[in-house]
Structure 1
Amino acid sequence: MKDISTSANAPLDGVYRIATVSNLTGIPVQTIRVWESRHAVVQPTRSATNVRLYRRADIERLSLIKAAVDAGHAIGTVASLTDRQIKARFKFNPVRAAQTTQRGCRVVVCGTTLGARLATAWGDRTDVRLRGVLPSLTDAGGTSTGVIDGPVDAVIIEASVLAPSLPAAVRRLQETTRARVVIVVYGFGNRRSLARLDDANVIALAAPADPAQLARICLLGLSIAPSAPDTFSELLVHPVAPRRYDDAVLDQLAQVPSRVQCECPNHVADLLVRLNAFERYSLECESSNGADESAHAMLYRASGHCRAILEEALTRLMAHEGTPAPEA
């Protein structure tokens, strides 16, 4: 591998850690490492502390390779092909990427200074559209304020300092907007803060960030369909789905008489109420207890995924009974 000399705290312009690459491409970290060692799919650089660093060209190639493998082709048959050969042979043209380009990637920015820069830089672009600018999460006390006009594909957050409470605030914003891509552009931060953002599936870029690079990351992230996780560890790196039913709806469902020969719908609604409460509890614990923050982050994501599965089960059960979801 190539070597690149960087100090421990120096910003790395245009390069990404393996966890971020995994989030962007949908390829598990271990799979990326195997593809490098066995098939030389990409050759990342190394930092002075021996950390893998990937460039945008590496991310694009990994995305192409994954598209071919997902189509049923063995990694050994495509690893030696050039990017052009892969595109020609497998006609790599994700439907999601085409749809995103057609309507424009819908972006919300938290931070007025960065929002003004992107509004000017993206003024003539049609592939990315600025849907709104909200106050910075740090200025707003860790909450998003303002009105967001319509659906959001990506959120870009301006943060002068990576505060300990930022990851939890970012997740709340992601749940509100349902954005698939979340980027934090930061001024100062330590390795621990960056690791926490990686754990939260957030892409961290040192300021100043190039507007064209931010647009490219948003579009690339949306063009990659999430892959199904194979293990518990892989499951936890996938974003937690937003809540489908609020507490008021679940309370009504818990009281609705069931048409099946049991009270399963009522029990599932009760379980969801408790899971929602535990999910919120885990998030608050992660914010307040620094010593155990990684464990609480794991519990937060695990309970969120369990909640999403039970929500889907409840939806199918109601469809089976012909019972529409009550209004909140």
Structure 2
Amino acid sequence: MESFKKEVHGRVMYRAGTAARLAGLPVETLRVWERRYRLSDVQRSEHGQRLYSVEHVERLALLKQLVDQGHAIGLLAELRPEELKTMLGGREQALAQEPVRALVAGTSLPRRLAAMGSEASGIRLLGHCPDVDELQDLASDTAADVLIVEESELDESIVARIASARARLGIDAVLVLYRFCASATIRALRGQGCLVARVPADIGELTFLCRSAVRGMRLPEQGKPAAPPPRRYDDGALAALAQLNQGPACECPRHLAEVLMTVGSFERYSAQCASRNPEDAELHARLGHAAAQARALLEDAMAQLILAENLAVLQSGVTRS
């Protein structure tokens, strides 16, 4: 399996999925932004995959924060990173430049941070202990920005233990790193406002996670999915495309229309499907969101196909131009 990052001419480069996660974006959003606004002059791997540098990821994170504040991505896309930082204000600029001050409960992470130093890692280690229960022995007046809890296997008891340590230390931002954990425990931690993620292999990724926790950002899978894009083709137009007789010519409009009708039907079905509990409701919401994203991509393909085949699509049908 290809690594989530590469070394290109001595620089760390991330694949699209990892770059999106580090910036706090759904990967589908990154793809849409790239397609519509050509945000990044990225390199490509020998297999044609897009590769993002640390600078690319930092710019994506700035864009994400500004979009969350209500700015239009179409207006932000042409701005330089310095202009984006100015829009975010002095506090965000300082946060992006100064090392994050951290307390760490864990065994391997403190050694890695100490070996790299704060300048290289972007994280200043103020104190550490092997276990979250030993955090009570650290000074309560330590001016830490974030509490990092690193445990390979998390069980349900960690929720109350972190809540107790957090209250005593008075730290709002908590980053919980794990290798194996039950979904219910992850949901409980996120319900307390913790940022929860698998232990990253790269310190650079850890720095992004810390800054995200300090800013109060959530990873894409935590929040509610974005509102689905509106439909571009109604049932009448799709039905007409599906019945279109192209003769021996390309039958792609018909086949793609049939696929779009199926995906759209599943999208609507997911919204109406009965839910037995909150977890079940969340699952169906994500199924509907995934179907909506797939529909939007297929509608883009249909628009290109209609243009190529010189068709005119009406709200209730299709004609030849």
Q: TM-score, normalised by structure 2?
A: 0.45
More strand by share: 2
What is the TM-score with the length of structure 1 in the denominator?
A: 0.44
Instruction: Specify which structure has the bigger relative contact order, considering alpha-carbon pairs within 8 angstroms and separated by 6 or more residues.
Output: 1
Structure showing greater radius of gyration is 2
